Amino acid sequence: MYNIITSRTAATSHICAFVTFALLTMALPFSQPSVAQSIEQLQQLRDRAQQTGASSASLPASVSPLSVTSQRTLPGASSTINGNEQFSTQPRSGVTLPGEPTINTVFPTQEAMANPPFAANLFIGGFESERTTGLNDNYLVAPGDKISIWLWGAVNFSNVVTVDNQGNIFIPNIGPIRVANTPAGTVNQTVSSKIRQIYTNDVNVYVNLLTSTPVSVYIAGPVLRPGQYAGLASDSVLYYLKRAGGIDFQRGSFRQIDVVRNNNVIGTADLYAFFRDGTLPDISFKDGDTILVRPIGNTITVETGARNSFTFEFSDEELTGGTLNYFARPGEFASHASVSGIRNNKQFARYLTVDSFSALPLKAGDIVEYVSDNDPQIYRINVAGAFEGASQIMVDKGTRLVDLLDHIESDKTLSDTQNIFLLRESVAIKQKEIIEEGLQRLERSMYTAPISSTGEGAIRAQEAQLVADFIARARQVEPQGRVVVSENGDIANILLEPNDTIVIPEITDLIHIGGEVLLPQSVVYNPDAVAEDYIAWAGGFTQRAEDERILVIRKNGNVAFVNFSDSLLSGNETKLLPGDQIIVLPAIDTKVLQAVKDITQVIYQVAIAASVASNAANN
């Protein structure tokens, strides 16, 4: 080691002397005339160079060019030099170098799959970074592993030995002991039995495997990042595939993943078997092994109606409806299966029961949809409001309202059976569609209105923003789907639909006032009072109220309007009843907004469908 340092120091001295001499030689022509140098001048330069070399030789012997650290590092990586003058590099953590290919540049642009492959979620998460600190008892010892050995008693010996390239460890006075391919759990027994053949008495032995040597495994085929990866021999196929980014969904097979060693397949992994049964091939990897993902096989896509609506990969023997039913697991209420594909270059389509579908041969590329096509003969009816007894009743198909009311218990003193109404899901959907049509018409009228000047354009832009805010709020309103079935004590005996809700209102003595009034509240019913009186009791109109046309929603869901100007001239007042709701709607400034008609229509639709008044247009 001393000779190496000395030679390095001497070389450094010569380098410094040469550099000094070269710099002086280059600088001299700029300070003196451009003539040939004399022998004396050259000798002076040599003397100066030797003096500089002598001063460099006086530096400590531990200084060398390799001890100078560089500040030039790559993004995401750091390189340092340890005491043994060897580079150690940390991972780049996925940071790419300038010009380095990425997944986006080497893969063709593909749309996201609506139905990803079955078992694709095996590559979600970061389980490849989760490792245990201990060694697996089934790990096979390989060259490079370190084993700790203690002998005490008649003979004392302790050392950490390394398994050599021949798979042996060497112990003085014992000789070589072969431990390659020995399971980690039996290393102690293997080495101890060999030692006791030499030291038969009064010698205690303890052997422990300290570290395992990483193996280098190649991953090839349709994976996102094929290449060479390091891991432990006991790591699974799934671990290495995740290190490589997972299988390419559209090109790689989840069913045939071969482990190749010396050009021979020593095991095949089927991720469906792991996903279904938790089984993977038990393989101890060695340096140079290759995990080869085969091309994708026959695929069947299940679009909807199953618990596992994925794209499935099947062998030729598995292409049947029964196999697909096993993996896809149709929903409990799925009764039929719709199949579409190509047969003999012609369009193919079938609609079968799930049982008949089990025997149907499938072809690669078929698309399957499970359908619940059962005709319900019994369905549920909900009961809400003032009633006694069960809140849900199961009825036969074709049951009518009046027939069912005979089976609903109620207290005549508390239940207002003369103003019953229904809440129906299909009606709520239709009301939502009507409101949406009005909102779309409002959008078209605002964005397509002609503009005659720049100033008008600025005003229209502000109007459009106000209307857009109103539309956004109006779309959040959920209609109730109220159906009026009673009037003046008569109840329509209509046909009930699945999941209808029969609402029996409570008897009340209140009138409810809301909307654009100062103090929205409920007031005790007064048979001599009119709508104007109740609005006065609620504090009167706000500044933005529509005071000419007042909305009244009856207890049974009927709608009436109170027109103050007409009622005052004619003397005909709308008769109010207990339980009515008086709603004052907001007024629209005709000088500001152009689409007054459309906005007013939407406000009325929202108020009636949801029994609330929207004031979004004024915010």
Residue 266 belongs to what domain range? 215-296
Whether residues 157 and 249 fall in one domain: no
Whether residues 478 and 604 fall in one domain: yes
User: Which of 296, 317, 339 marks a domain boundary?
Assistant: 296
Whether residues 351 and 204 fall in one domain: no
Q: Rounded to an integer, what distance in angstroms lies between the CA atom of residue 128 and that of residue 126? A: 5
The model's pLDDT over 229-285, given as tens digits with 9 standing for 90+, comes to 988 887 889 989 988 888 998 899 999 999 999 999 999 999 999 988 888 888 888
User: Which of 211, 243, 258 marks a domain boundary?
Assistant: 211
Whether residues 292 and 164 fall in one domain: no
Q: Rounded to an integer, what distance in angstroms lies between the CA atom of residue 311 and that of residue 300? A: 6
Q: Rounded to an integer, what distance in angstroms lies between the CA atom of residue 420 and that of residue 403? A: 14
581-584 vs 510-515, strand pairing mode? parallel
Q: Rounded to an integer, what distance in angstroms lies between the CA atom of residue 45 and that of residue 32? A: 14
Phi, psi of 201 (to 5 degrees): -130, 150
Whether residues 315 and 437 fall in one domain: no
What is residue 610's predicted lDDT score, i.e. its pLDDT? Answer: 59
Stretches in the chain below the pLDDT threshold 50: 1-37, 56-88, 568-571, 591-592, 612-619
What is residue 83's predicted lDDT score, i.e. its pLDDT? Answer: 45
Are 284 and 140 a contacting pair, CB within 8 Å?
A: yes
DSSP string, 417-456: GGG-EEE-HHHHHHHHHHHHHHHHHHHHHHHT----SHHH
Whether residues 177 and 255 fall in one domain: no
What is residue 615's predicted lDDT score, i.e. its pLDDT? Answer: 37
What is residue 9's predicted lDDT score, i.e. its pLDDT? Answer: 43
- CATH code for position 519: 3.10.560.10
Look up residue 277 and give its amino acid: D
Running DSSP on this structure, what letter comes out for residue 225? S
Are 314 and 242 a contacting pair, CB within 8 Å?
A: no
User: What's the CA dihedral at 619, 431, 607, 554 to 10 degrees?
Assistant: -170
Whether residues 189 and 269 fall in one domain: no
Whether residues 577 and 492 fall in one domain: yes
Q: Rounded to an integer, what distance in angstroms lies between the CA atom of residue 329 and that of residue 312? A: 12
Are 211 and 232 a contacting pair, CB within 8 Å?
A: no
Give SS3 for 285.
coil
- Asked, for residue 136, whether it belongs to a domain, the answer is no
What is residue 459's predicted lDDT score, i.e. its pLDDT? Answer: 73
- CATH code for position 174: 3.30.1950.10
What is residue 364's predicted lDDT score, i.e. its pLDDT? Answer: 93
Whether residues 313 and 290 fall in one domain: no
- Asked, for residue 80, whether it belongs to a domain, the answer is no
- Asked, for residue 107, whether it belongs to a domain, the answer is no
Residues near 519 by Cβ (< 8 Å), separated by ≥ 6? 538, 539
- Asked, for residue 110, whether it belongs to a domain, the answer is no
Whether residues 175 and 240 fall in one domain: no
What is residue 477's predicted lDDT score, i.e. its pLDDT? Answer: 82
User: Which of 65, 81, 104 marks a domain boundary?
Assistant: 65
Whether residues 463 and 533 fall in one domain: yes
- Asked, for residue 576, whether it belongs to a domain, the answer is yes
- Asked, for residue 112, whether it belongs to a domain, the answer is no
- Asked, for residue 193, whether it belongs to a domain, the answer is yes
Whether residues 330 and 186 fall in one domain: no
Running DSSP on this structure, what letter comes out for residue 288? T
- Asked, for residue 231, whether it belongs to a domain, the answer is yes
Residues near 387 by Cβ (< 8 Å), separated by ≥ 6? 408, 409, 410, 415, 504
What is residue 562's predicted lDDT score, i.e. its pLDDT? Answer: 82
What is residue 538's predicted lDDT score, i.e. its pLDDT? Answer: 92
- Total domains present in the chain: 5
What is residue 87's predicted lDDT score, i.e. its pLDDT? Answer: 46
Running DSSP on this structure, what letter comes out for residue 586? B
